[in-house]
Amino acid sequence: MPNTQSQFEIERNQQRISDRQHGRLRKVIAIARGMVEHALSLNLKASRIEKQLQDHDTDNDGFRARVRADRRDWLLLWVFWGTILLYTVLEFMTSGDIAEMLACQMAPHFGIDPATGGMPIWLRRSAGVGFVAGMLLATLLVKLISGWFLDSFKTARAALMPGEDRRYRGLTCGIWGIYLSKVAYVAAVAGLYVWLFGFAQQRAAFMADLAAEQKQTAEWTDLGVKIEGGVVETDEAVPAKSSAATETETVARLAGATGVFYAVIVLLHACVLLLPIPDPSRELELAHFKKGVADKQAVALRAEERQTLREIYEHVRIAPEQYRSDLVEATEPVHAAINQIYGRRVIGIAGVESTPPDSNGTSAAARPQPLNPNGPNGNGGAHAANGHSHVATAAASINGSNGQHPIGEEEPPVADWDAIFPSGHRA
């Protein structure tokens, strides 16, 4: 049967087959590249931790002091934000009286008559949240402004020259004035809460009166008579405290709890104002450094890296032959590390020496005597930057499969599987 396909259809079919093969190749290479990137990431993390361990052992550039400073600043940040959180909770719990008063002041803006209409709960909550936020914002603003002036005065005093006694006294007075202003602000906050404590006492007195009325009603309903053995007996009169003394004790007990909360809130204001805050521009990268934990992390990362490198090698070794050359090219960044694990060259690109750097960090290109690709790889690092000069090398002077005849510039290089996978390791 004669072929009825046109040249156009034949070219389209060939293009479709080529695109399909190219898509499969891209998927295979994508898997290998993902494994390579994972291995490189593990090596980078392990190298960073190992560098920190080395700096800790040698105390390079005051490493241990930096660790202590970062850890102290990290704890200060936790204490500062914990203080703010505790203040917010306690302030909202005890701001009911002031929230009620503020809600009455805000009611006309929402068309509510405080005298005739009930106060909505959302308005009281909004007033309480606004009061808490306002007090906290005021304290943080005072802290920010006073801290800025304090740093400016201290910097200016540190830059004084001999003979500037008058300016020194002025700057010192300014510094002490800032300290006194902080104390004055805390005293003002304490006075505010003393005034608010009066509302707590009024509420406690109201609750005491309500309790007294309920008790009096219960006494009127109770006859105080009981019958035992057919004999009617009445309760003996028990000497009772005066009503005024009882009411005073009740008010003190009810308002005392609020007073304790107010005292704690004033102390929290003082802590927020006086606690030093670390420089936000400085990264606390060593705040969580611990030598024992870092050792374990480095060992675990190196073990995972070695496992990943073996998986990469096996993935390339058992791949179909039509994909193997491309996979070798794709996994070139980890060839040196794989060869180091196996103790000899088990993977590489023909004509390109793939050896890891030595213990001093000297690369293969700068090393006077490169390692034998068929021998041990020495004590080099886990990865080496092989570069991508093999493309030009392959086009100019890569040897053929027998290692004797060079390939011309116009002749495509032949895949040298003996160079990529030495004998005993090919699929």
pLDDT tens-digit readout, 84-97: 999 999 988 888 77
Do 190 and 74 share a domain, yes or no? Answer: yes
Contact by Cβ (8 Å): 407, 395: no
Position 426 in a domain: no
Helix (H/G/I), strand (E/B), else coil: 74: helix
Q: What are 281's two structure tokens?
A: 């521009």
Domain housing 388: 7-58+290-420
Helix (H/G/I), strand (E/B), else coil: 225: strand
Domain limit, last residue, from 243, 274, 305: 274
Position 300 in a domain: yes
Q: Quick one: pLDDT at residue 237?
A: 47
pLDDT beyond 60 at 242: no
Q: Quick one: pLDDT at residue 234?
A: 54
Which of 387, 321, 327, 322 lies closest to 354, judged by CA? 387
pLDDT digits (tens, 9 = 90+) for 149-200: 999 999 999 888 888 888 999 999 999 999 999 999 999 999 988 888 877 6
Q: Exposed e or buried b for every residue in 211-237, given b needs 16+ CB within 10 A?
A: eeeeeeeeeeeeeeeeeeeeeeeeeee
Separation in Å, CA 20 to CA 8, 13, 17, 29, 76: 18, 10, 5, 14, 60
Q: What are 379's two structure tokens?
A: 């004590």
Q: What contacts 91, CB < 8 A, 6 or more positions away?
A: 131, 132, 135, 136, 265
Q: Quick one: pLDDT at residue 287?
A: 86
Do 48 and 111 share a domain, yes or no? Answer: no
pLDDT beyond 80 at 16: no
Domain limit, last residue, from 274, 300, 320: 274
Which of 213, 193, 214, 345 lies closest to 262, judged by CA? 193
Contact by Cβ (8 Å): 234, 225: yes
Contact by Cβ (8 Å): 331, 32: yes
Do 93 and 221 share a domain, yes or no? Answer: yes
- pTM listed for this prediction: 0.61
Do 33 and 108 share a domain, yes or no? Answer: no
Q: Using CA atoms, how far apart are residues 3 and 254, in angstroms rounded to an integer? A: 104
Position 2 in a domain: no
Q: Using CA atoms, how far apart are residues 24 and 11, in angstroms rounded to an integer? A: 20
Do 307 and 360 share a domain, yes or no? Answer: yes
pLDDT beyond 80 at 412: no
pLDDT band at 353 (very low <50, low <70, confident <90, very high): low
Q: Using CA atoms, how far apart are residues 75 and 282, in angstroms rounded to an integer? A: 15
Position 222 in a domain: yes
Separation in Å, CA 103 to CA 90, 122, 162: 20, 9, 60
Least confident of 30-44, 49-63, 212-226: 212-226
Do 86 and 40 share a domain, yes or no? Answer: no
Q: What are 302's two structure tokens?
A: 């190196």
Position 255 in a domain: yes
Q: Quick one: pLDDT at residue 110?
A: 78
Do 52 and 67 share a domain, yes or no? Answer: no
Do 239 and 336 share a domain, yes or no? Answer: no
High-pLDDT (> 70) share of the chain, %: 66
Position 187 in a domain: yes
Q: Quick one: pLDDT at residue 39?
A: 95
Do 361 and 415 share a domain, yes or no? Answer: yes
Position 148 in a domain: yes
Q: Using CA atoms, how far apart are residues 260 and 264, in angstroms rounded to an integer? A: 6
Tell me the chain's radius of gyration from C-alpha atoms: 41
Q: Quick one: pLDDT at residue 399?
A: 33
H helical segments located in 159-223: 165-221
Position 160 in a domain: yes
Q: Please provide the size of the chain in residues.
A: 427
Do 203 and 261 share a domain, yes or no? Answer: yes
Do 330 and 353 share a domain, yes or no? Answer: yes
* DSSP, res 234: E
pLDDT beyond 50 at 241: no
Domain limit, last residue, from 274, 299, 330: 274
Do 162 and 237 share a domain, yes or no? Answer: yes
* DSSP, res 331: T
Q: Using CA atoms, how far apart are residues 356 and 338, in angstroms rounded to an integer? A: 10
Q: Quick one: pLDDT at residue 233?
A: 54
Number of domains in the chain: 2
Q: What contacts 260, CB < 8 A, 6 or more positions away?
A: none
